[in-house]
Structure 1
């Protein structure tokens, strides 16, 4: 096994169209780009036709659709030849059961019920009877007609159209009525509308992804055997642990994983500003949404908040984000997570009386109301009792303030959970709170509070409007001191929009009145009838322009359903959805309106490129291990999945890389070659220099507020400089005589992006860079100091 921490990672979304063999072919390109490790999406056997790998059906084998174990071994061998690491994404929380026959563990449970050897592998409440499976069509008859369509197949399965289910031994004799056979099984097929009756824990609200009890040592061993085999063979350098908050005992799981694997471990954990992972977790950090928040928001002008808030209010969009978020969480707990809420309430009611004066826990309605309110009140995604008891207490106090009529019951829940933090009550509340927050915020509130879409990101908060440079430096320094090997990210497979879309939309905060006037005018001519979606639609159009009507329609339909304001995934409003689907074509076919949109895009495109280059260079050189999401080494204007999982054109990227390797200094243009240039220089520098430590650098002069700069390395011999708020900078007359003092030391400074060497230090031993000269070609600079005047960090 290897404890090597990668200098950087490159995320590949493997799928049938991009297999392990294809990744092997790309390894040389990644090495030339300067990447430290290939970071692969889940590669264990997933559900048939899976496009992402998070729906694992067999954790004991590598997906045949990706090439199988032979292709994995060949990939790792090629990576080792190139001195690259291999980081795998794993999914310990759940498995796909949507196609039962594809999952041997689940098939066995359906066949043998609670007597199955795998029955305890899944989190099933057997006290509530057979497994409830909401698969039947329902035309208002509760699925009765669908039940009459059941058949028994020749190979001994119960069938409903294309769905197949196993039969319990001895439950069928030739000639038996299929409906009666169904009643003899360890499962019940019910209407798709009865998802609130499920008795197995899921991944969020997806019935086809069943939670795995990985806290059980036997289940851990069975589900990690293949992964740990790679580690024992020296073929695995790091693990990214998916959805760690969904586990019963995240800390216990991670400590067990650490005992088995001594490599680099990061967890998919959404942190709120100022929050850290629990100190007892033996991990390098998170997958980087906290860094994403800081890096993106430092390029947003806070002066735009008031005008954009007024625009949203005038259009009928809610701007009280705290209220929007709380309401969305409560709705989520009351709808999507009814089975989980009921199960927690049942646990609560089953507890024996502690004192005679305690509230009546048997009152079913009140118990469920109290649980719902508590789940909606967590200030973070979850707590980890007994650690972080303050987070738990804040949730209880917030719930009591919202529902004083339930204060007695909430106090009892609080008492019992803290008295037994490893007990079922505390455990289930905590693992469910993370799901409620995630679905309530990320998949609901972020589509309702649409004042400024650039702030509506995973790990962010729609109430946030910019981060000042001082706050950014404080958080970066803390990251360097406490979490130096955490992952950092700007785009992921889960982000709501890509880094370059956010960078372009950030420019709107610099011209809020101009943007507001345009949106009011456009809305009057061609607006959507739902205000939140209308405002989101215009921002999206500007952010991804040019885009096809089909692509925009797909995104907006998903956004409309996620917001659940006028339509939803379960209860669709056909007329409204037709309006949404028709909107992009209405806009794009109106030549005058399209020209106006294109004109505003032209206004924000170049400053958006400046923001994008600044974000990228800061992420790649700031504390942490930067991850580069596939394809984002060029401009990438992607939206939420599945849009961000579109195929990447690696041929054009390799062609542009070859030009850079021949010494070309690209222009800032639509090709995106300049971003590739920044990425290449920064990644190679990370491989060659120690970028530990962190020191903020402060410019002086009339435009000092527009410079974000810091130094890295034990000798402070690497400096990053980025431009903030480029439109404001231009409006103020540019850099003028603004200067940036650089750290003192022997040698000369060289900008790796322009390949120019700065003037030597003065008599006082200090070098001061004039920003008008330093940033005359690019809005960013990457400086490295050397004592060798002929030095180049690598041959061209």
Structure 2
């Protein structure tokens, strides 16, 4: 059924992301809308609201896509929120998860339960990506103390007409339970087998999300499956309750472009996709979406604030400490670990689709030939310089991957040629599809989840969608990127913090300031390491950077973060094979540092030396994001300073009452200082968001300062809907420590676009004197930026 709405919903001026959970429901979100409206937010952006696994704290583990979660307030609460947003003139954007569903608790997922009960005869069997020809569905849940899970089978029981394993329940197929049967006898008759949790990485019979066996992939490429999984979502649009969709993990889908075209045909609103783009990569032009969720913009917004002169000292420090500084080398090793261990089941399934090259002289394929086929698949999966290719579109990415794999393994060239021929001949075939789906998993697990925790030379760069090998972004590159975004994807989302970022925007901003004092910081880390080192070099470098970047941080928060980082890196411990002694040493480290008054005093001295510069960087990147091309998203709570780390740290409760108090003072005319309250950031956010609603800026014009400190100013101009010439200018400070060392702005000026009217800084209310000769106004930066390190100038 097509939507009854005849015209696309307007693109939001901005979004504000809310993380819903049972402790912060749709009702709570509705109560917050008035505050967000006063802040200037264009649309409230909700984390997934469909029914998720019991106790879910994030909503990405959907178990029933046909119902709004009762734990979040249910359908009625969503309707109330939508109606209130409409009254305020705000939009509603919803996050959806088309790629997978949670199967952690089978009795909570009615579709999965039916498949386990009836096997391939279930009406829902085709909903999931299951290889029924491989035998029973393998469910990797049994404890394994080295016996392959055999002893754990003794814990199976019969309860209430089901099989039970501790707190998990599994269905019994009709006619497979006789009086007097043991649980193990009944288990052997089912369409599934409970097996050791360790087997999930080697021989799983269903596709999953990354290496998470509790998340089973859904076949939304089937029109009936699409209809069933999207009926509730599309009804929200048909009823006018939502205006936009954020599509999670688009690279996991069989046919991302086909899916998005089907979605856009039924949903006429604003659509953005969670998509990691490599530097210089763009999403296929055929995708009918506004753009991505903004990691590509984040890389540039933060990178332009990094001092390139700090690279040499930080690289030397990493090498001296025994940390690999070549991200390319670290990356390939991490990807190979992913394909050989974490994703071996996926590699084997792909290899089974590809006939092995027959041995010379004919005859049956040898075991060596079969092994070579798997090695060729694994090498190819490791060789993509993007997350995935989109055949038959974007064929160049596929060609580069095949060529790179052949260079790395020339002994596999013939096998790679055979794979290449098979895939090009049938680019929509199962082999081609599964290779492309899996390459994204390899990149995500190898690069982001592992390599970024190993190559810790400068952690501010090790962000989702980031490129640690590209140390800094020049102002020219920044302007080129912004102009390109305005020209090609003006309504794409831009972001600085998300629920997936490894550290918040304000942590990264303070870390960026360390690049300006790289020599002194490197010497400090050497001293600190001699006094109190973490037990693994890459983790040690990450620990000191995190302590400085996220301070003030408590012992428990820091320890939890470091344990997660260590397990992701898989150098001294891991999720699957934790080393208790290693982890005890890691967990003890924060307490040792905090208890050493001399050491802690040195750390706090470094924090104090970059705190102000970090604030300046935070305000700069926020202004660049909020008024630059694209639709800016504000992650919950980041309108004040937010020093959060990777999830679940970044899902901690937000003190909205404190923010409301500050907002009330701002509305009364308060001009807050730049201090540890973060009120200056709130002032900037409110000013920029209200301006976006008022002016609806478009276009992009780089502005270039003149004078001795010109390289420390980063500025641009845009044009409002009602103007024929640029009438909005954003001016920010770049590399503030270097600016201070050079003596400040010292006569540096910024020529503003010519035109009638007076330029006024909306942050301070001060007007700039016009040029009486009728030429461009020369803004004196020592005056314009005397109160705040940024200025938001409007000509009226």
List aligned pairs for 1:222-261, cutoff 5 A.
222-261=228-267
What are the within-5 Å matches in structure 2 for residues 334-733 of structure 1? 334-349=340-355, 363-713=369-719, 715-733=725-743
Give 1:576 deviation, angstroms. Answer: 0.6
Residues 361 and 367 in structure 1, CA contact (< 8 A), matched pair in contact too? no
Deviation at 1:357, TM superposition (A): 9.4
Shift of 1:175: 1.2
In the alignment, the residues of structure 1 paired with residue 658 and residue 34 of structure 2 have an alpha-carbon distance, to the nearest angstrom, of 15
Residues 717 and 357 of structure 1, relative CA distance in 2, 3 Å threshold: farther
Q: CA deviation at 1:356?
A: 11
**Aligned position for 1:264:** 270
CA distance in 1, matches of 2:192, 2:364: 36
* TM-score, length-scaled by structure 1: 0.97
Change (3 A) 1:361 1:769: farther
Secondary structure of 2:699's counterpart equals: coil
Q: Residue in 2 aligned with 1:169?
A: 174
**In 1, Cα distance between the equivalents of 2:476 and 2:407?**
34
CA distance in 2, matches of 1:751, 1:327: 51
Q: Conserved in 2, the CA contact under 8 Å of 1:477 and 1:694?
A: yes
| Aligned equivalents of 1:429, 1:99: Cα separation in 2 | 29
Give unmatched runs, 5+ long, in structure 1: 787-796
Contact 2:752 2:778 in 1 (8 A): yes
The residue matched to 1:756 in structure 2 has which SS? Answer: coil
Mapped to 2, the partners of 1:247 and 1:361 lie a distance apart of 34
Mapped partners of 1:762, 1:65: distance in 2: 64
Q: Which SS does the other structure have where 2:10 is aligned?
A: coil
Deviation at 1:762, TM superposition (A): 2.9
Corresponding position of 1:330: 336
Q: Secondary structure at the match of 1:59?
A: strand
Conserved in 2, the CA contact under 8 Å of 1:349 and 1:361? no
Partner of 1:92: 98
How far apart are residue 385 of structure 1 and its match? 0.6
Q: Offset of 1:144 from its aligned partner?
A: 1.4
* Aligned equivalent of 1:178: 183
Rounded Cα–Cα distance in structure 2 between residues aligned with 1:534 and 1:462: 18
| Matching residue of 2:795 | 785
1:119-158 mapped onto 2 (5 Å cutoff): 119-153=125-159, 155-158=160-163
User: Is this contact kept in 1: 2:356–2:370, CA < 8 A?
Assistant: no
| 1:736 lines up with 2:757 in the alignment | no
Query: Pairwise CA RMSD of aligned residues?
Result: 1.5
C-alpha displacement of 1:723: 0.2
Secondary structure of the structure 1 residue equivalent to 2:542: helix
Whole-angstrom CA distance in 2 between matches of 1:625 and 1:359:
58
Correspondence for 1:282:
288
Take 2:393 and 2:363, find their aligned partners in 1: how far apart are those partners?
26
Shift of 1:757: 0.6
Contact residue 361 and residue 409 of structure 1 kept, 8 A: no
- The answer for the alignment partner of 2:112 in structure 1 is 106
> Aligned residues, how many?
784
1:708-764 CA deviation, whole Å, 9 max, x = no partner?
Answer: 000011521000000000000000000001000000011000000011011012303
Counterparts of 2:787 and 2:673, CA distance in 1: 8
DSSP-derived class of the 2:539 partner: helix
SS at match of 1:26: helix
How far apart, CA to CA, are the structure 2 residues paired with 1:333 and 1:282? Answer: 32
- Cα distance per residue 1:123-179 (max 9 Å; x no partner): 0001110011111111222211111121111x2000111111000001112210111
- Other-structure match for 1:762: 772
SS in 2 for 1:511: helix
- 1:162 and 1:307 map into 2 onto residues whose CA distance is 53
Q: For 1:54-73, what aligned pairs fall within 5 Å after superposition? A: 54-73=60-79
User: What CA distance in whole angstroms lies between the structure 2 residues aligned with 1:143 and 1:471?
Assistant: 55
1:361: how far off?
9.5
Q: In the alignment, is the contact (CA less than 8 A) between 1:38 and 1:86 conserved in 2?
A: yes
Matched position secondary structure for 1:665 = coil
Given that 2:616 and 2:736 are in contact with CA atoms closer than 8 Å, whether structure 1 keeps it comes out as yes
Check the 8 A contact 2:356/2:365 in 1, yes or no.
no
Cα distance between partner residues in 1 of 2:33 and 2:366: 59
The superposition leaves residues 474-525 of structure 1 with CA deviations (integer Å, 9 ceiling, x where unpaired) of 0100000000000000000000000000000001100011101110000000
**Partner SS, residue 335 of structure 1:** helix
For residues 260-303 of structure 1, the C-alpha deviation after alignment (integer angstroms, 9 at most, x for no partner) is 01100000000011110001100000000000000000000000
Q: Is the 8 A contact 1:359 1:408 kept in 2?
A: no
CA spacing shift, 1:273–1:173, aligned 2, 3 Å? same
Is the partner of 2:578 in helix, strand or coil? coil
SS state of the match for residue 640, structure 2? coil
Corresponding residue of 1:299: 305
Q: Is the 8 A contact 1:318 1:449 kept in 2?
A: yes
Aligned counterparts of 2:670 and 2:366: Cα–Cα separation in 1 = 72
| Secondary structure of the corresponding residue to residue 698 of structure 2 | coil
Q: What TM-score do you get using the length of structure 2 for normalisation? A: 0.97
Counterparts of 1:62 and 1:94, CA distance in 2? 17
Which of 91, 115, 122 is the aligned partner of 1:116? 122
Q: Distance in 2 between matches of 1:205 and 1:226?
A: 28
Deviation of 1:529 after TM superposition, in Å, equals: 2.1
Q: Deviations along 1:442-487, whole A, 9 cap, x unmatched? A: 1000000000010000001111211000000001000000000000
Contact preservation (8 Å) 1:359, 1:409:
no
1:656-678 CA-partner distances (Å, limit 9, x unpaired): 00000000000011100000000
Q: Distance in 2 between matches of 1:13 and 1:163?
A: 28
Distance 1:142 1:361, change over 3 A: closer
CA distance in 1, matches of 2:705, 2:560: 45
SS where residue 188 of structure 1 aligns?
strand
Q: Aligned-pair distance for 1:360?
A: 5.7
Q: Distance in 2 between matches of 1:314 and 1:419?
A: 50
User: Using the alignment, how far apart are the partners of 2:38 and 2:771 within structure 1?
Assistant: 34
